[in-house]
Chain A
Amino acid sequence: MADQATFVADTEPYMASLFSTALRLSTNRADAEDLVQETYLRAYRSYGTFREGTNLRAWLFRILTNANINRHRSRSRRPQEAELDEGDDFSLFHRMRDRNELGRSAEDELMDHFSEAEVVQAVESLPEAYRMAVLLADVEGFAYKEIAEILDVPIGTVMSRLHRGRKRLERELYEFAVARGLTPVADTAGG
């Protein structure tokens, strides 16, 4: 039986990652907190099935994914792998470059072009399947193979969701930027 202290010591380091993801999935704090709590309880109850030496963080994210699906049974488990739409070909890079928004040190400036609220809103605007792929790859840094296991889809599906999710995210960010005149914002502190 899973020893409480061992379980907590092993899994607590991942709580912030799980909560960040839950927050972007749920889009409100109360639901996100419930989702993380449910994830921990499910993980604790099935910790006996976790094999040491395998990827604990990916295992926890898989539990979170399944808990999230269960909470929204009315939504289809697998989204339609949608046709390409006009947003899937969007390039924020080219739009910004063509407007001479990319200066000599583009890398440093990009962070200043978008506020935290804008990035979060753009991420939360993505269809859930795309959002999850982007969160797992870009925020959590999971490998494609790990994302495939977490989401229980083939790697090719992970790649297409990432591609579409990122392109839509770029389009959203561009629209925010255009709406306020493409001037950098000043919240690099992350507030």
Chain B
Amino acid sequence: MTMSDSTFPDDPCAGSDPCRQAVAELYTYVDGELDDVTRATITKHLDDCSPCLEAFEFHDELKTVVAQKCRASVPDELRARILAAITADPGDPAATPG
């Protein structure tokens, strides 16, 4: 049986219930999807458990890395083309004029 990467086999807290519970909610935590009570419970655990804190901070930062490096700015030519297309478009075909 292989050890899953998503547990913390090398950490002193390995196998403890609070760590497992925290790691199970890693994505929902960094995505801001948890209810206040669960979030507070995990935040408290992270205050006490540096291996878990390190993992959570890593994933939070990875989100930032992806976000920053995937953004693109709109070419001026495209913006102008879209505005021109809208101006030339008759608009909502179902709408009654005027």
Contacts and interface: CB of A to CB of B under 8 A. Distances in A.
Given A93-B59, A110-B58, A120 B74 contact: no
Interface in A93-108: 93-98, 102, 106-107
Contacts of B27: 159, 162-163, 166
A37 interface: yes
Interface in A1-31: 1-2, 4, 7-8, 12, 15-16, 19-20, 23-24, 29
A16 B73 CA distance: 6
B58 A106 contact: yes
A10 to B, nearest CB: 12
Contact of A24 (B31, B70, B86, B87): B70
Contact of B93 (A7, A33, A45): A45
Contact-size category for A: 35 or more
B55 to A, nearest CB: 5
B66 A138 contact: yes
Per DSSP, chain B at the interface is: helix
B1 interface: no
B86 A94 contact: no
Given A2-B91, A41-B89, A107 B61 contact: yes
Interface residues of B, number: 47
Contact of A41 (B61, B64, B78, B86): B86
B95 A89 contact: no
B82 to A, nearest CB: 5
Interface of A: 1-2, 4, 7-8, 12, 15-16, 19-20, 23-24, 29, 33, 36-37, 40-41, 44-48, 89-98, 102, 106-107, 110-111, 114-116, 119-120, 123, 134-135, 137-139, 141, 143-144, 159, 162-163, 166, 169-170, 190
Interface of B: 4-6, 10, 27-28, 31-33, 54-55, 57-75, 78-79, 81-83, 85-87, 89, 91-98
Rank and list the top 5 A-B pairs by shortest CB-CB distance, nearest first: A91-B5, A1-B95, A119-B69, A116-B69, A93-B58
